[in-house]
Amino acid sequence: MAAREDGRQKLSIVALKTKPLERSIALTRLGVGAGAKIMAHSLANIFRGEISRDSANREFYERQAQILADELGKLKGSVMKAGQMLSLYGQYFLPEEAVVVLSQLQDDTPPVAWNVVAPVLERSLGRSRLRELDIDTEAMAAASLGQVHRARRKKDGRELCVKIQYPGVADAIESDIRTLSRLLIMTRLTPKGLDLQPVFNEVREMLYREVDYEAEAGFTRQFAARLAGDTRFVVPEVISEYSSPQILTTSYESNCSVRDARVQKLGQARRDRLGGAFLELFFNEFFRWGMVQSDPHFGNYRFRVGERAEDDRIVLLDFGATRIFGRGFIENYSDIVEGSLRRDREQVLRGAIAIGLMSEKMPRSALDAFAAMCEAIVEPFEAADDQAAGGTLRNKNGAYCWGDSDLPMRSGRIAATNALSVHFRVPPREIVFLHRRLAGVFIMLATLRSEVDGRAALLAALHDAHQEPASGVTL
């Protein structure tokens, strides 16, 4: 079993369905059962009043999505990761209850028993290499595509983390994607006529990236090199001799969750310092480097509390979800942000149309609704003396109080109460993953209860976005 953050234990999965046929059968059986339940639910709804029908629909879709999430969690691998991605895209076309349940696939995943993953380790590294390590057979962290075990190198006692890919994950991607697309149709969770092929194409591409541990090792080194001079951050060192296409071994870096009492009990100034660093990291990744770690899961962003404020560190883990953004996209997105700050709606719309987020054919009401939402989102970065833009959420020094803000909910209401929701469907894939990380930044600063004025840092990043080549990324 593996420990959870709340101290409870998670039961290990003792066997994985790794063959495409058996995975397909398991999912198809789930879909057939769900289809029958949906038919019965639809018939029952005929006899319900409008109010009870709405309540029944919500409860029904929540149950259906929970069943789907539970089964995906048992199967692990690409089909579970695809479920995670659907929770991101799904906000644009799935019932709200389904999105909430599918989003639970992001974390709290049961590990796989040691006897299932040990053969992968032995085949990848060989017995002689393995004899150099003492490996804890209980996973310290588990995800959809692999899990991490703590280890110690015998010759010098160095503490390591060994990430092991689940067997059969890469081979099952194509079959899993096909089966999951059929499953969504059978469960009738998606609107009729909606073409999900672009969504599944993106999920497929993302999955192949995340099972490429050699590429992940390259991104880990890239981040380590770029942050080498910034003592606020820690990036693990890749240990090449214990790594392979299915194994990624790094140095162990002590850390704790943002929710840990050691972090939450820090004074305001120290939490502000950490929040400011986290915000600047995102600005660097997108506007300057064009290289964004797009998975904002709290497990990937940890903390190390020091004796003094200057000793506090943000520990960055898991770069498998790193995405590269092109210069044109960055510049056009910068136009959206700059226009929002200046309340120049024409500039906002030029940028949005250029990246395919909006269309000139949309009615003016939809375009104005989109611009209004953008203006709301940049509230934390407005001038501190602008009382019309979050003035009540600023402390006496003008810093934005992230923990007191309900900005994400207010932005959602703006979209929901305008024509935007009718016209703004599934956005370009770059937007989905960028906004996934951006939402994670907002949530992290709120969880830290940081009071940070990020305006100057954002303006500097926007300036650099038009001046520097984005990345020059090498692996």
Check if the beta carbon of residue 134 is closer than 8 Å to that of residue 157.
no
Residue 310 CB contacts under 8 Å (≥ 6 apart), including other chains: 231
79 and 156 in a common domain? no
326 and 414 in a common domain? yes
297 and 230 in a common domain? no
261 and 139 in a common domain? no
3-class state of residue 310 by DSSP: helix
Torsion angle defined by CA atoms of residues 386, 389, 395 and 401, in that order, rounded to the nearest 10 degrees: -150
Q: Categorise residue 158: left if φ over 0, alpha if ψ from -120 to 50, beta otherwise.
A: beta
What CATH number does residue 146 fall under? Answer: 3.30.200
DSSP assignment of 379-436 equals: GGGS-TT-TTTTGGGB-TTS-EEGGG--HHHHHHHHHHTSTHHHH--SPPHHHHHHHH
Distance in angstroms (rounded) separating the CA atoms of residues 10 and 322: 28
Q: Looking at residue 27, what is its pLDDT?
A: 46
128 and 62 in a common domain? no
Instruction: Give the C-alpha distances (Å, rounded to integers) separating 265 from 258, 270, 276.
Output: 11, 10, 17
307 and 360 in a common domain? yes
387 and 310 in a common domain? yes
* Residue numbers of the domain that contains 217: 113-165+212-253
Q: What is the pTM of this model?
A: 0.79
432 and 319 in a common domain? yes
Q: Looking at residue 308, what is its pLDDT?
A: 95
Query: Tokens 């709340």 sit at which residue?
Result: 6
- For residue 3, what is the DSSP state? E
Q: Looking at residue 168, what is its pLDDT?
A: 84
Q: Looking at residue 385, what is its pLDDT?
A: 77
374 and 345 in a common domain? yes
Residue 203 lies in a domain: no
Which among 440, 472, 469 is positioned nearest to 287, based on CA atoms?
469
Residue 70 lies in a domain: yes
Q: How far apart are the first and last CA of the chain?
A: 35
355 and 393 in a common domain? yes
318 and 423 in a common domain? yes
379 and 279 in a common domain? yes
Distance in angstroms (rounded) separating the CA atoms of residues 90 and 77: 20
Give average pLDDT by consecutive 10-residue segment, the chain, 475 residues.
Answer: 45 53 46 37 34 49 59 59 63 58 58 92 95 96 88 98 91 78 64 68 82 95 96 98 96 95 97 98 97 87 96 95 92 95 94 88 83 89 72 88 84 60 62 82 92 96 82 47
Residue 207 lies in a domain: no
Q: Which two tokens stand for residue 47?
A: 């006899």
Domain count of the chain?
3
Distance in angstroms (rounded) separating the CA atoms of residues 3 and 142: 10
Q: Looking at residue 217, what is its pLDDT?
A: 97
Name the pairing type of β-strands 313-316 and 233-234. Answer: parallel
Angle (CA) 74-173-89 rounded to 5° is 80
